Structure 1
Amino acid sequence: MRIYELGDGTPDVSVIGSIHGDEPCGARAIERLVAEDPDVERPVKFIIANEEALDADVRYLDDDLNRAFPGDPNADSHERRLAHDLGREVRGTTAFSIHSTQSYADPFAIVDTVDAISRSILPHLPVDVVVETNNFAEGRLIEHAHTVEVEAGLQKSDEAAKNAYWLIRAFLTATNVLPAPAVASDGGNDGGDGDEASDSPVSRDDRLRLGAPEENSLEVYRLLEMIPKPAAKEYEVLATNFEPVEGGQPFARADGETFVADRDFYPILLSAYGYADIFGYAGEKVGTLP
């Protein structure tokens, strides 16, 4: 676990990247922002979580870190020990955890429940969708109070790293760590990812408003159930995430067997190979923010 701190005093805001070692976008975005050495208006902590798995380019060494919280300092498992240490580092902070996915290219946010803290942050992020995990947060960092998780884009893509950078800046502006507008200077360090005019997931005018009073309107979804995936050699997903699937509509295949929806649902994190034993989740649309 690698930790950077900016500002004077004890941070009550934290940013966590690369909880999964095969999701380097968070680490890349954190390193890019820290290298810029921005002036901050309140202290903040940046954490690159699972360095060992990141170096090995694997999701985890012993256990999925994002299913291992609160962890155990005496566990044999690397990730269970790490979960305990990471939980201690983010305790008492408003936390922002960055992930990537095999299922969806556009950034979206995930929270345990839309509460007062997340309501104050989510509309200021460059995302259009937020997902409530409902009863599917067990063992995840998102169970930590005041945590917002984001999926920054497709796993291992340059776009996910660029998106993650702008997501962090928007979060830091929404939490008053950075002043608005949250935009790097034209001559600033771009971390090798290109200039800020070309690598933002939103337009320049929108970037100038990140964290400003203008707010995005977000669609809110809630997870309802896992969609099981049988053992097979080849998988195919026929549905599109966040677009409705009607009862009776085919949504996936496994070795030629077609799976048909038994009721209407919205697919969330649905992918062919993202999870070992599920295609993803069935969800419902519950409203909008703000």
Structure 2
Amino acid sequence: MRIYELGDGTPEVSVVGSIHGDEPCGARAIERFVAEDPDVERPVKLIVANEEALEADVRYLDEDLNRAFPGDPHADSHERRLAHDLGREVRETTAFSIHSTQSFAEPFAIVDTVDAVARAICPRLPVEYLVETNNFAEGRLIEHAHTIEVEAGLQKSDQAADNAYWLIRAFLTATNVLPAPTVTSDGSGGDDPMSADRPNLGLDEDDSLDVFRLLEKIPKPEADEYEVFATNFEEVSEGEAFARADDETFVADRDFYPILLSAYGYADIFGYAGDTIGQIS
């Protein structure tokens, strides 16, 4: 675990990247941000979590770190020990955990529940969707109070690393670690040298996020070849085919919204069925 601390005092804000070793976007974004030596208005802690798995280019060494919290300092498992240490580092902070996925190219946010922290921060991130995990957060870092998880884009892509960098800046702006970007009356970035490259950081007061809730896992049988037909966050109607495993086609028995649906992202599930529960802004 590699830790950077910026600013004076005890950090109350933290950023975590590369909990999974096959998701380098968080580590790349943290290194890019730290290399800029930014001026911060509040102290912040930035953590590259699973360095060993990252170096080995594997998801984990012994077990999934994002299913191992709260961890155990005396465990034989590398990830279970690391979960304990990482949990200690983010304790009493508002934490931002960066991931990537095989299911969706655009960034979206994930929380355990849509609480006051999520309502204050998520609309200021460059994301369109917010997912409430409901009963599917066991062992994950987002069980820690005041934690927001984000999927930055497609796994191992340069775009995900770039998205992750801007997500960090947006999160740190929302938590007052970084000053808000200058915006002129015409909506431009004024003299801000980064304004030409910066995506929408949630500064538009009319921005709103569609909020979804996970309802159930979609099982995936053993097969040689998988395919998904549905698009994440777009409604699948009852009777519509949404996935295939070899020659078996799966048809929706009711309307649902696919979330984290992919052919090969998970070993035993295609992803999740969810429902839309409104918007926040």
On whether the aligned pair clears a TM of 0.5, the verdict is yes
Matched, 1:11 2:2: no
Task: State the distance in 1 between where 2:275 and 2:53 align.
Answer: 34
Contact 2:173–2:180 (8 Å) recurs in 1: yes
Task: State the distance in 2 between where 1:42 and 1:126 align.
Answer: 22
Pair 231,6 (structure 1): closer, same or farther in 2 beyond 3 Å: same
Task: State the distance in 2 between where 1:130 and 1:141 align.
Answer: 17
- Map 1:201-220; keep pairs closer than 5 Å: 202=199, 206=200, 210=201, 212=203, 214=205, 216-220=207-211
Partner of 1:238: 229
Contact 1:106–1:153 (8 Å) recurs in 2: yes
- Where 1:230 maps in the other structure, the secondary structure is coil
Partner of 2:140: 140
Task: State the distance in 2 between where 1:240 and 1:152 align.
Answer: 17
- Where 1:61 maps in the other structure, the secondary structure is coil
Question: Mind listing any 5+ residue stretches in structure 2 that lack a counterpart?
Answer: 183-188
Matched, 1:89 2:103: no
Matched, 1:109 2:109: yes
- Map 1:118-157; keep pairs closer than 5 Å: 118-157=118-157
Question: Deviation per CA, 1:108-152, whole angstroms, max 9, x where unpaired?
Answer: 000001100111101100001000000000000000000000000
Contact 2:126–2:202 (8 Å) recurs in 1: no
Partner of 2:2: 2
Q: Which amino acid aligns with 2:63?
A: D
Pair 220,172 (structure 1): closer, same or farther in 2 beyond 3 Å: same
Partner of 2:245: 254
Task: State the distance in 2 between where 1:21 and 1:197 align.
Answer: 32
RMSD: 1.6
Task: State the distance in 2 between where 1:125 and 1:216 align.
Answer: 10
Task: State the distance in 1 between where 2:76 and 2:102 align.
Answer: 30
Question: Deviation per CA, 1:211-262, whole angstroms, max 9, x where unpaired?
Answer: 6473521000000000000001100001110000011111100012101111
Matched, 1:58 2:58: yes
Partner of 2:273: 282
Task: State the distance in 1 between where 2:247 and 2:23 align.
Answer: 30
Contact 2:110–2:131 (8 Å) recurs in 1: yes
Pair 109,215 (structure 1): closer, same or farther in 2 beyond 3 Å: farther
Partner of 1:192: none
Partner of 2:185: none
Partner of 1:45: 45
Contact 1:125–1:216 (8 Å) recurs in 2: no
Question: Deviation per CA, 1:252-280, whole angstroms, max 9, x where unpaired?
Answer: 00012101111110000000000000000
Pair 211,262 (structure 1): closer, same or farther in 2 beyond 3 Å: closer
Pair 43,215 (structure 1): closer, same or farther in 2 beyond 3 Å: farther
Q: TM-score, normalised by structure 2?
A: 0.94
Contact 1:124–1:215 (8 Å) recurs in 2: no
Pair 11,74 (structure 1): closer, same or farther in 2 beyond 3 Å: same
Residue identity (%): 80
Partner of 1:74: 74
Task: State the distance in 2 between where 1:216 and 1:177 align.
Answer: 22
- Where 1:110 maps in the other structure, the secondary structure is strand
Q: TM-score, normalised by structure 1?
A: 0.92
Q: How many residue pairs were aligned?
A: 274
Task: State the distance in 2 between where 1:215 and 1:21 align.
Answer: 37
Contact 1:103–1:154 (8 Å) recurs in 2: yes
- Where 1:153 maps in the other structure, the secondary structure is strand
Q: Which amino acid aligns with 1:216?
A: D
- Map 1:166-181; keep pairs closer than 5 Å: 166-181=166-181
Pair 49,241 (structure 1): closer, same or farther in 2 beyond 3 Å: same
Partner of 1:23: 23
- Where 2:70 maps in the other structure, the secondary structure is coil
Task: State the distance in 2 between where 1:243 and 1:38 align.
Answer: 39
Offset, 1:164: 0.3
Task: State the distance in 2 between where 1:175 and 1:185 align.
Answer: 20
